[in-house]
């Protein structure tokens, strides 16, 4: 038993480490864009932030849709169905292109609507200057996510990490060159930042696609054969799983957007402190997010192969390991909150005294918050590994919107807890989600184990 646990832990780490690094690379790309906007000036930063928010809200749902590719590929790979894996990634690429092109057209049409949503015309114009070229990143980004899910689900996450790191580096260099006008390049401002992200995202998708086509490790998957003939059956499978996953991502983002609106209503100091605490949690969240993908793929592989005891072991190990890692971050937030806040703002600046004081106190709540958030993210991944997106959507809607949002508002305003009330509401909603999703995984695996199928029989047969 101990050797089995050790081998499963080793498999999880081998899969999770490159995915965590790839997630870090993506965060660095977003961070680079923000820094470059700030270099252009406060008006450009505000306009770029508005454009980035519009892009992020849509791309988050689309990325949730593409998560279905890796989940289903892992199940087929576990069952030894190479032809099924090929059909899924081929149709996943079709879905990525359809979503990406449709999303890009929708983002391009946002310009006339932004002033009607309360945005200043000058800020809206700057937002579209950034969003226009940035929207072209969506098809390439979604194709990269489909290919990332495919290669990681069959046990080869290394290329994703390498290409992600190279992409993040290229994004920084090209952005800086266009901001500073290196080598006679034109200074393209916000449009250049958006164009760079679009070029890098497309280049990353092409690089990963070419690597997969040329590497012997993928020879059994004839990706080009039949690629031009999309199949309704596989597209329907991807939509059935992808739509609820995308909906879950959107529901969780709705919880955080509501919290930001509450902080804005409380005042600028509260909003600034909230943003610092959220950024700290976001950095810590890179680890459970990468681990969640790895757990999804390991659970899916075992599920497809009919290894139900191993399936449960992988899920439990992932949830427990993630909780332990997030507990380490919680201790950091409890024991050294001033140092964490100092990563984002100069603590000795008197202008930030109130913000720093409030952000430090919010990190005490954030310690529990991110522990629950990391646990629920990994538990969600275990259920996705079983090919189930509806359960995660229902739990998300119930815990985020029916518990988290009302609790945050009640504590912040009627009970007068202010900013801390908002964060306790977030923690309460995420705690409920963590408990419900963990129990949901246990219940589902108990049902699967009850009939005791023949050893090695595929769950797809």
pLDDT in tens, 275-285: 788 888 888 99
Quick one: average pLDDT of 214-227? Answer: 91
- The domain boundary residue, chosen from 230, 261, 296: 230
Position 13 confidence tier, pLDDT thresholds 50, 70, 90: very high
- The domain boundary residue, chosen from 195, 230, 265: 230
- The domain boundary residue, chosen from 230, 264, 298: 230
95 vs 16: CA distance, rounded Å: 26
Tokens standing for 343? Answer: 């990563």
Does one domain contain both 154 and 284?
A: no
Per cent of the chain over pLDDT 70 is 96
Does one domain contain both 76 and 164?
A: yes
pLDDT score for 124: 82
Does one domain contain both 324 and 443?
A: yes
Count structural domains, the chain.
Answer: 2
DSSP 8-state symbol, 218: G
Does one domain contain both 224 and 263?
A: no
Does one domain contain both 176 and 289?
A: no
Range of the domain at 350: 244-461
Is residue 317 domain-resident? yes
Is residue 159 domain-resident? yes
Residue with the two structure tokens 């950034």: 130
Residue with the two structure tokens 């060159």: 177
Residue 286: phi and psi, rounded to 5, are: -55, -40
Residue 8 has pLDDT above 50, yes or no: yes
Question: What pLDDT, in 10s, does the model give residues 405-423?
Answer: 999 999 999 999 999 999 9
Is residue 133 domain-resident? yes
Is residue 238 domain-resident? no
Q: How big is the CA angle at 344 (ends 342 and 349), to the nearest 5 degrees?
A: 60
Tokens standing for 202? Answer: 């497309």
Q: Which sign does the torsion angle of CA 113, 119, 122, 127 carry?
A: negative
Is residue 129 domain-resident? yes
Is residue 167 domain-resident? yes
> Which of the pair, 34 or 384, is modelled with greater confidence?
384
Is residue 239 domain-resident? no
pLDDT score for 168: 94
Residue 89 has pLDDT above 70, yes or no: yes
Residue with the two structure tokens 């290196």: 182
Does one domain contain both 198 and 258?
A: no
Outline where DSSP puts E strands in 210-354.
Answer: none
Q: What is the CA radius of gyration of the chain?
A: 22
193 vs 155: CA distance, rounded Å: 34
Does one domain contain both 200 and 267?
A: no
User: C-alpha distances in angstroms, 205 versus 73, 74, 75, 239, 292?
Assistant: 18, 20, 23, 22, 22
- Return the H-helix or E-strand segment holding 291: helix 268-305
Helical packing angle, 42-78 and 121-134, nearest 10°: 40
79: nearest Cα among 282, 261, 304, 294: 304
Q: Which sign does the torsion angle of CA 402, 408, 413, 417 carry?
A: positive
User: Largest Cα–Cα distance of the chain, in whole Å?
Assistant: 70
- In DSSP notation, 382-404 reads HHHTTT--HHHHHHHIIIIIIII
99 vs 87: CA distance, rounded Å: 18
Q: Note whether 299 and 291 are within 8 A (CB).
A: no
pLDDT score for 141: 96
Does one domain contain both 267 and 189?
A: no
50 alpha carbon, distance to own chain's centre: 20
* CB atoms inside a 10 Å sphere around CB 180: 11
300 vs 73: CA distance, rounded Å: 8
Question: What pLDDT, in 10s, does the model give residues 125-158?
Answer: 888 888 889 999 999 999 999 999 999 999 999 9
Residue 461 has pLDDT above 70, yes or no: no
56 vs 62: CA distance, rounded Å: 10
Does one domain contain both 263 and 395?
A: yes
DSSP 8-state symbol, 114: G
259: nearest Cα among 241, 284, 277, 240: 277
pLDDT score for 238: 97
Is residue 237 domain-resident? no
Does one domain contain both 215 and 355?
A: no
Does one domain contain both 352 and 208?
A: no
Residues 6 or more apart whose CB falls under 8 angstroms from that of 423 comprise 259, 274, 277, 362, 365, 366, 369, 408
Does one domain contain both 5 and 101?
A: yes
332 vs 430: CA distance, rounded Å: 20
Question: What pLDDT, in 10s, does the model give residues 339-378?
Answer: 988 887 777 777 778 888 999 999 999 988 889 999 999 9
Q: Note whether 117 and 256 are within 8 A (CB).
A: no
Q: Note whether 382 and 444 are within 8 A (CB).
A: no
N- to C-terminal Cα separation, the chain: 28
């Amino acid at each position: 038993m101990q050797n089995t646990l050790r081998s499963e832990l080793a498999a999880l780490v081998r899969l999770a480490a490159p995915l965590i690094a790839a997630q870090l690379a993506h965060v660095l790309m977003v961070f680079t864009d923000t820094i470059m906007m700030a270099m252009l000036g406060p008006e450009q930063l505000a306009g770029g932030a508005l454009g980035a928010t519009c892009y992020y809200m849509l791309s988050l749902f689309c990325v949730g849709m593409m998560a279905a590719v890796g989940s289903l590929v892992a199940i087929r790979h576990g069952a030894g169905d190479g032809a099924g894996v090929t059909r899924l990634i081929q149709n996943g690429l079709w879905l990525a292109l359809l979503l990406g092109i449709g999303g890009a057209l929708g983002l391009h049409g946002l310009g006339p609507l932004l002033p009607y949503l309360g945005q200043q015309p000058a800020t809206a114009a700057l937002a579209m200057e950034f969003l226009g070229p940035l929207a072209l990143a969506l098809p390439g980004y979604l194709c990269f996510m489909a290919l990332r899910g495919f290669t990681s689900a069959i046990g080869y996450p290394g290329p994703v990490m390498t290409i992600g790191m190279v992409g993040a580096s290229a994004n920084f260099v090209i952005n800086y060159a266009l901001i500073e006008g290196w080598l006679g390049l034109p200074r393209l401002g916000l449009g250049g930042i958006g164009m760079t992200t679009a070029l890098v995202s497309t280049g990353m998708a092409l690089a990963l696609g070419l690597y997969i086509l040329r590497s012997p490790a993928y020879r059994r998957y004839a990706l080009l054969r039949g690629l031009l003939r999309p199949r309704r059956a596989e597209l329907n499978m991807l939509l059935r799983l992808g739509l609820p996953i995308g909906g879950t991502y959107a529901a969780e983002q709705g919880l955080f957007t509501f919290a930001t609106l509450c902080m804005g209503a409380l005042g600028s100091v509260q909003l600034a402190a909230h943003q610092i605490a959220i950024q700290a949690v976001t950095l810590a969240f890179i680890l459970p997010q990468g681990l969640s993908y790895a757990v999804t793929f390991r659970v899916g592989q075992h599920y497809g192969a009919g290894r139900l005891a191993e399936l449960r072991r992988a899920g439990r190990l992932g949830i427990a390991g993630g909780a332990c890692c997030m507990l380490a971050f919680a201790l950091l937030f409890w024991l050294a909150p001033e140092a964490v806040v100092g990563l984002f703002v100069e603590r000795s600046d008197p202008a930030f005294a109130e913000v720093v004081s409030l952000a430090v106190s919010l990190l005490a709540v954030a310690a529990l918050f991110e522990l629950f958030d990391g646990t629920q993210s990994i538990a969600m991944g275990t259920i996705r590994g079983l090919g189930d997106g509806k359960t995660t959507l229902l739990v998300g809607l119930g815990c985020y919107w029916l518990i988290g949002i009302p609790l945050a508002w009640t504590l912040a305003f009627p009970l007068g807890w202010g900013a801390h009330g908002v964060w306790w509401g977030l923690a309460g909603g995420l705690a409920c989600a963590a408990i419900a999703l963990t129990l949901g995984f246990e219940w589902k695996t108990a049902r699967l184990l009850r009939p005791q199928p023949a050893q090695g029989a595929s769950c797809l047969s």
